[in-house]
Structure 1
Amino acid sequence: MQKSSLLWLMLAVSLLAGCKSLMYPEQEPQSAPAAQSVLEIVPCSEPVPMICAEPEAKVVEKIIERSVEKIVEVPVARDKLVLGTVEHVSVEPSGLVVESIVDSGSSTSTLRAKALTRFERDGRDWVRIQLMPPQGDGETEPGVVELPIKRYIRAMRIGFPSQRRPVVEMHLTVGDVTHMVEVSLTDEGGTDTLMLLGRNFLKDAAVVDVSRRYVQGQPRISGGK
């Protein structure tokens, strides 16, 4: 009786063991190739350099205005002759007093004569100048002056052909001031004015007030020049 009970117990244990194996079968470990098939190795691509765009910079132009005091040197008439646009000029050695336009745009003073005669003396070129008296002065006779020619200049005139003019040295007096300057000579008309007083007289000696005329009046010739 005991043996049969033991047999039945063993049979029941075996049945139970078989059922367990059927319900929970043992899982075999996966091999390495199977794992590799699941995890695919993807090659990395070459790195691509990325250039970031520069941020937009807002340029603001800043203008600074400054008021700078500008010092301008203005010629002062101290110790200088003040002239108007027209003055009376004494021409030496003739002593003729003529009305002259003060022309700061001309480098050389110019005198208009009635006649010019060129001749040679002691191997040099001279000129005989027949001066014209001022317009309306019927008492003064035309004066004649002979002077050596220092040089010649070519005068350009608008609307007329150029003219070759002789240049001589003469004493010119305006007011109390006398200077020896170069004077170009012409015997052609075209204007009632007999003389143009140029920069060679004005330089370092006079200033011009364009709003006035006859500032100095009649020339006052001193004994010595």
Structure 2
Amino acid sequence: MASAGALFLLAMPMSATAEDERAVFGWVEKSTLEPWGVEVKAKLDSGALTSSLDARDIERFDKEDEEWVRFRLKLEDEANGETFSEWLELPLYRSLRLRGAGGVDRRPVVLMKVCLGDTIYEEQFSLRDRGDMNYPLLLGRRTIGHLGLLDVRSTFLSEPECGENAPLVEHDPDEEEAFGDEASSD
């Protein structure tokens, strides 16, 4: 029995060391939207499954027999205080239907890239006018799961430092089932 206890104690530091090597992020972090490098504050919210981005004038349309989304980003670049405004057209990845106290909200979801720390992550973002929110970018559990650990007591533990050789974590559609779904998707 003593041997089993000693074995357990020997194993503990190894697992703690492996855990310590994972990046730690606070509940609010600086991030950049890629490829533009626009710095925005991101709220890491473990209560949300899908990440959300502040988008305006959202419109769905057909392009080459596929559904696309046209929208406008209008964000304050935290690095220089300037307004970044850009119209984007991206393929619709999926639609998200959320039920809340105000009824059903149907949102388009697109794939976009965000830099946190020294890595670029291609993630799902639901598009929504977040003008009344404190943070233009909300990162949900799907994204947080790729980042590392979340320290809910801290903020701004990392700086976005993604150069042209930054590693890219591409979106993996096979991960969908691991997270379940926040509501129905149509």
Partner of 1:149: 92
1:90 is the counterpart of 2:32 = yes
Instruction: Structure 2 unaligned segments of length 5 or more: list them.
Output: 1-8, 169-186
In structure 2, which of residues 23, 29, 41 is the aligned counterpart of residue 99 of structure 1? 41
Distance in 2, Cα, partners of 1:190 & 1:139: 19
Question: Which structure's residues are more often strand, by fraction?
Answer: 2
TM score, norm. by length of structure 1: 0.60
User: What TM-score results when the alignment is normalised by the length of structure 2?
Assistant: 0.72
The residue aligned with 1:77 is 20
Aligned-residue RMSD, C-alpha: 2.7
Paired with 1:139 and 1:205, the residues of 2 have a C-alpha distance of: 28
Counterpart in the other structure of 1:161 = 103
Q: Is the CA contact 2:53–2:130 (under 8 Å) kept in the aligned structure 1?
A: no
Partner amino acid, structure 2, of 1:77: D
* Aligned pair partner of 2:54 in 112, 126, 140: 112
Aligned to 1:76, what secondary structure does the other structure show? helix
| Aligned match of 1:39 | none
Structure 2 partner of 1:173: 115
Amino acid of the structure 1 residue aligned with 2:54: R
Aligned residues of 1:99 and 1:134 also touching (Cα < 8 A): no
95 and 127 in structure 1: CA distance in 2 versus 1, 3 angstrom threshold: farther
Cα shift at 1:185: 0.8
Runs (4 or more) in structure 1 with deviation over 6 Å come to 71-75
> 1:55 maps to what in 2?
none
The answer as to whether partners of 1:77 and 1:207 remain within 8 angstroms in 2 is: no
* CA deviation vs aligned residue, 1:38-83 (integer Å, no higher than 9, x gap): xxxxxxxxxxxxxxxxxxxxxxxxxxxxxxxxx99878231x2210
Q: How many percent of aligned residue pairs carry the same amino acid?
A: 32
Looking at structure 1, the residues matched to 135 and 122 of structure 2 have their Cα atoms a distance apart, in angstroms, of: 21
Indicate the structure whose relative CO is greater, using CA pairs within 8 Å and at least 6 residues apart. 2
Match for residue 38 of structure 1? none
Aligned-partner Cα distance in 2 for 1:115–1:99? 21
Shift of 1:165: 0.6
Which protein shows a greater Rg? Answer: 1
Is 1:195 the counterpart of 2:128 in the alignment?
Answer: no
Uncovered stretches (5+) of structure 1, i.e. residues with no partner: 1-70
Once residues 86 and 129 of structure 2 are traced to their aligned partners in structure 1, the CA distance between those partners, rounded to angstroms, is: 14
Aligned counterparts of 2:36 and 2:109: Cα–Cα separation in 1: 16
Number of residue equivalences: 154
Which stretch shifts more, 135-144 or 179-188?
135-144
